[in-house]
Structure 1
Amino acid sequence: MSLREIKPGNRGYLYLNSHPAGCATVVDRMWQQLPGPADDRPGPVALVVGASAGYGLAATLTGLRSHRMRGLGIAFEAPGTVRRTASAGWYRTARTAELAAEAGADFGFLNGNAFSASVKAEALDRLAARFGKVDLLIYSVAAPRRADPLTGEVHHSVIRPLGADYRAKSLVFEDDAPRIGGLHLPAAEPAEAEATVQVMGGADWQLWIEALESRGLLAEGFRTVALSYVGSEITAPIYRAGTIGAAKQHLEDTARALDTRLAGLGRAHTVVAGAAVTQASTAIPSIALYTSILHRVAGDGWQTTADQAQALWAQLTGPATATDDQNRIRLDAWELDPAVQAAVGTVWEQVDTDTIADTADTTWFRDQVAQLYGWNVPGVDYTTPVETAVPWPTVL
């Protein structure tokens, strides 16, 4: 037992600890927003790589709650220690597993580095023994580094522009008050761009497909999707036209190659999601300000990760898949609506410290970041001691 009262510790948008009850409540709230299954038939056997956060978590909860998904989720999370809490994703996964069990879902979770050959082998061993073939692979991984399983070389991703330096406005909080700051990032070196592609591109996704294929685990009608993002012209220099964008382009190129490879057996697509506040997105310069403005402008048109995950599952389980001219499933029409982008652009150009409170949802954004780690969650009593030594769910 490790029952104690804990308080948030953070440096800007980076929280150094998490709250178990807060993380569990975040999962509960998303679960309650999702519709139940349409019937009692067992759902697809799915492998979700990156199931503990962001769109991967939303897709996992939607699959379990609404589509009776079976299978395995993979996450790479840190357990608690005597001095520190477990990672937020650890607590979210523990609660997701409890909800899955209560719903009667045959679904387990494996904690390990999805980039490694050993985790791939263990995951496929477990899936083969329990289910046989796999119907669906959802790939939603964001990581700062990746070791090449063939060479052992460790690649480190960077968030940099390509070709020219990047200067832009940013959102900064001082004593809880928002203000407009400035940032300057030098252009990436070619080696940095290539390393980012190696970490965040399609190389590891392809290795998962090849591993499934080599084991004979691809079911007829197999589907696989990987999460991507395009975003606004406002953020393009640091995102789509930057090192991350190069990685996303590689991911999308990989999808088209995989789709050709799977012809006659299955399909592969990237999924272009809309903006969201996630642990990955908060690391991208200027995204905080852009997202705060977008949320204010979009209003009721804002699409949560749960909303978008439901739209994705509708595509995955429907009779046909709607894609753009680059064979991508698009979930971002609400964000890239021309009227929305025009309004966001006007605010972006004019906003300053004096007007930011009236033109951007900065308090909402700050709370959303805190809730990623289980803090500032409505209904949670943070003065009550809580058990921090939560066990990892039993693996299949």
Structure 2
Amino acid sequence: MIQFKQNIRGNVALGINPVGLKQEVLNQINYVKNKGTYEGPKKVLIIGASSSYGLATRINLTFGAGADTIGVSFEKGPKNEKNLGTAGWYNNIAFKEAAEKEGLVAKNFVQDAFSHESKQEVIDYIKNEFGGKVDLVVYSLASGRRTDPDTKETYTSSIKAIGEPVVGPNINMQNEAFYTETLDPATDQEIHDTVKVMGGEDWELWMKALKEADVLADNVLTTNYSYLGTELNRPYYGGGTLGRAKADCDEKTENINELLRDINGKALIVVATAVTTKASSVIPFFPVYCIGLYKIMEEKGTHETPIMHQDRIYRDMIYGNNPEYDEIGRLRPDSWELDSDTQAKTKELILKLNQDNFNTDLTAYDLFYKEFSNLSGFMVDGYVEQEVTIDELKALKY
């Protein structure tokens, strides 16, 4: 029998618990079900569907709006007891099993979403087995590397400052250390490569391929998640390489809107709030911002996990009556985070932190750590330990 063990290197999770991951998916499903149903899209393609925002979106649209979904992700299955695969692999399986019990379609494509071949396989499936059209396309792909499908050149993203180094506090969850980190400025090449990986180029390629194949319904909507942050994290986020990539997505929105004009389609950037993901855990300085922010927002009753945030975005805003847009048309569910009082109190709290108090009740460190652990199937509410063999895990089908 496999002994599931949480293993962390720095702020990177190495171990996973497939049983806990399934329970976490069920917990998110129950959250949506408890909120009831709403009128939303019925045929949905989610590119980047196996974890965090993509998974939460898929769960919300399936169990809230009754949508059939296609999910595209790049994950790995189990090889042996020391290599159980990736968390997203098991998330896909647990989601599919639950959706099919409800009589809904949940097709998983586990492959490189950046390739032309993947796009064509998805298009063929939509045409032949998914009713011919999709009415929502969600782009939620997070990757540190991308191979250009035409040139075959591989690009690697860099999380760096631009112009000047940034110095600030960070935490190491492996050894519970609070320390000062220096983030070097990026070279022009690193900026370019980060935009190639994390910008809007692949989103636009997907929408062009889908449009040319005539698999987009009239009035189709496509969404892409962004993050802008505040003055507390702008030097290393909005003002850094990540910010350049997000700005590129804004630019590509205009191209996609023009592409979809004749079918009354729309591309929408959703500026999301700060949440705990595998990516946010390794962004320099960001964990410190989160443990301060979460404490304040928890006290105000505005803190959200990905499933809570996505449910509000689609139920209340996009397909509801309470959307909030900024001056250039982006949806702004991050307004709770950007609340001036919330930001002032977060700044005041962060300035008090040091090695002796960052992981005490002064902050939301325990909450951040729990949410981080949940991403790998540990510390999951309702988890019941089970005996599982490697053969049983290998037998699971996505």
Q: TM-score, normalized by length of structure 2? A: 0.93
Distance 1:126 1:84, change over 3 A: same
SS at match of 1:234: coil
| Equivalence for 2:27 | 29
Q: 2 CA distance for matches of 1:280 and 1:179?
A: 19
Displacement of 1:382 in angstroms is 4.6
Q: 2 CA distance for matches of 1:385 and 1:320?
A: 45
Q: 2 CA distance for matches of 1:336 and 1:60?
A: 26
Q: 1:14 aligns with which of 5, 12, 15?
A: 12
Residue 146 of structure 2 corresponds to residue 141 of structure 1: no
- Name stretches of at least 5 consecutive residues in structure 2 with no aligned partner: none
Distance 1:358 1:7, change over 3 A: closer
Report percent identity of matched pairs. 29
In the TM superposition, what whole-angstrom CA distance separates every residue of 1:55-80 from its partner, at most 9, and x where no partner exists?
11110000100111113111110111
Report the AA paired with residue 298 of structure 1: M
Q: 1:226 aligns with which of 220, 224, 227?
A: 224
Residue 378 of structure 2 corresponds to residue 371 of structure 1: no
Displacement of 1:309 in angstroms is 1.0
Q: Are the counterparts in 1 of residues 40 and 319 from structure 2 also a CA contact under 8 Å?
A: no
Q: Which moved more, 1:362-371 or 1:338-347?
A: 362-371
Residue 116 of structure 2 corresponds to residue 111 of structure 1: no
When the two structures are aligned, how many residues end up with a matched partner? 388
In the TM superposition, what whole-angstrom CA distance separates every residue of 1:229-287 from its partner, at most 9, and x where no partner exists?
01121111111100011000101111122123322421001100001001121120111
Q: Are the counterparts in 2 of residues 228 and 272 from structure 1 also a CA contact under 8 Å?
A: yes
In the TM superposition, what whole-angstrom CA distance separates every residue of 1:176-218 from its partner, at most 9, and x where no partner exists?
xx44211012100000000000000000000000000110111
Q: Are the counterparts in 1 of residues 158 and 241 from structure 2 also a CA contact under 8 Å?
A: yes
Displacement of 1:324 in angstroms is 1.1
SS at match of 1:350: coil
Q: Are the counterparts in 2 of residues 8 and 375 from structure 1 also a CA contact under 8 Å?
A: yes
Q: 1 CA distance for matches of 2:49 and 2:376?
A: 16
| Equivalence for 2:194 | 196
Q: 1 CA distance for matches of 2:257 and 2:320?
A: 18
- Name stretches of at least 5 consecutive residues in structure 1 with no aligned partner: none
Query: What is the RMSD computed on CA atoms of the aligned residues?
Result: 1.9
| Equivalence for 1:359 | 362
| Equivalence for 1:156 | 156
The correspondence of residues 258-297 of structure 1 with structure 2, limited to 5 A, is 258-265=256-263, 266-297=265-296
SS at match of 2:278: coil
Q: 2 CA distance for matches of 1:184 and 1:328?
A: 32
The correspondence of residues 162-173 of structure 1 with structure 2, limited to 5 A, is 162-173=162-173
Report the AA paired with residue 308 of structure 1: H
Q: 2 CA distance for matches of 1:378 and 1:306?
A: 15
Q: Are the counterparts in 1 of residues 62 and 69 from structure 2 also a CA contact under 8 Å?
A: no
Q: 2 CA distance for matches of 1:173 and 1:184?
A: 18
Q: Are the counterparts in 1 of residues 41 and 135 from structure 2 also a CA contact under 8 Å?
A: no
Q: 2 CA distance for matches of 1:321 and 1:338?
A: 20
Q: Are the counterparts in 2 of residues 69 and 107 from structure 1 also a CA contact under 8 Å?
A: no
Report the AA paired with residue 67 of structure 1: A
Distance 1:31 1:153, change over 3 A: same
Q: Are the counterparts in 1 of residues 45 and 134 from structure 2 also a CA contact under 8 Å?
A: yes
Report the AA paired with residue 196 of structure 2: Q
Distance 1:144 1:90, change over 3 A: same
Report the AA paired with residue 233 of structure 2: T
SS at match of 2:372: helix
SS at match of 2:151: coil
